[in-house]
């Protein structure tokens, strides 16, 4: 896996451009990866709903839960499906709208300096081995493009928005990801 620094795209990922993105602030250095968990409707996997959310085309009438999030304008740089398939919505050099109100190491607005990666999953269910492998490969590719990204700078959404967010959840195996990033798995 490799990031094309010119386009900001991950080779091997399907690219579906989201309108929910903008320029990073002048001088913003990418040095953090925020891992999220998402399923739509909650607890259901597959289907078109995550993509439609990130494209701003989620039909509120398709499911009662969708009515509660109809006003959201969100995206992520990358989605890793349960199968390990990769879908990119925002070029890495641009700002995706994934972390919301957030803070890391005294800095506010994590979207300004982070890359958001969504894992298709739920807080209370284990993630798939294929997802951990794909995540580790993606982080390695990002670290090759932006050396400030280190394994210690891969955090959960709950770490940058404590009390507001819980994902990727208690079933996310940080130790397993760490072993993969260290090449021990």
- Does residue 145 sit within a domain? yes
Q: Helix 174-181 vs helix 129-145: angle between axes, to the nearest 10 degrees?
A: 50
Q: Residue 115: in which H helix or E strand, if any?
A: strand 114-120
- Mean model confidence pLDDT for the chain: 96
Residues 6+ apart with CB under 8 A from 48: none
CA dist 157 and 165 (Å) reads 6
Whole-number pLDDT of residue 31 = 97
Residue 125 has pLDDT above 70, yes or no: yes
User: Following DSSP, what letter does each residue of 42-87 receive, concatenated?
Assistant: TT--SSSHHHHHHTT---GGG-HHHHHTTT-----SEEE-TT--EE
Q: Is residue 13 domain-resident?
A: yes
**Dihedral sign for Cα atoms in the order 98, 18, 63, 85:** negative
Domain count, the chain: 1
The torsion region of residue 133 among left (phi > 0), alpha (psi -120 to 50) and beta comes to alpha
**Is the model's pLDDT at 30 over the cut of 70?**
yes
pLDDT at 185 over 60: no
**Residue 185 within a domain:** no
Q: Is residue 150 part of a domain?
A: yes
pTM above 0.95, yes or no: yes
Q: Is the dihedral of CA 140, 117, 121, 56 positive or negative?
A: negative
62 in a structural domain: yes
Instruction: Tell me the catalytic residues.
Output: 118
| CATH number assigned to the domain comprising residue 130 | 3.40.80.10
Domain residues for the domain of 44 are: 3-180
pLDDT at 71 over 70: yes
In the chain, pLDDT over 90 holds for what percent of residues?
A: 97
Tell me whether residue 135 is in a domain.
yes
């Amino acid at each position: 896996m490799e990031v094309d620094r010119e386009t900001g795209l991950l080779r091997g990922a399907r690219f579906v451009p989201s309108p929910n993105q903008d320029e990073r602030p002048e001088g913003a250095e990418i040095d953090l990866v925020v891992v999220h968990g998402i399923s739509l409707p909650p607890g259901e996997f597959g289907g078109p709903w995550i993509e439609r959310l990130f494209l701003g085309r989620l039909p509120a009438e398709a499911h009662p839960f969708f009515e509660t999030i109809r006003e959201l304008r969100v995206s992520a740089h990358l989605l890793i499906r349960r199968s390990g398939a990769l879908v990119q919505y925002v070029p890495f050099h641009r700002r995706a709208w994934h972390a919301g109100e957030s803070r890391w190491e005294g800095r506010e607005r994590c979207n300004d300096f982070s890359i958001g990666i969504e894992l298709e999953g739920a807080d209370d269910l284990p993630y798939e081995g294929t997802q951990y492998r794909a995540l580790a490969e993606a982080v390695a590719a990002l670290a090759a493009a932006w050396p400030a990204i280190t394994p210690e700078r891969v955090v959960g959404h709950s770490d940058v928005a404590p009390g507001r967010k819980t994902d990727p959840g208690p079933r996310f195996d940080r130790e397993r990801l760490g072993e993969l990033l260290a090449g021990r798995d």
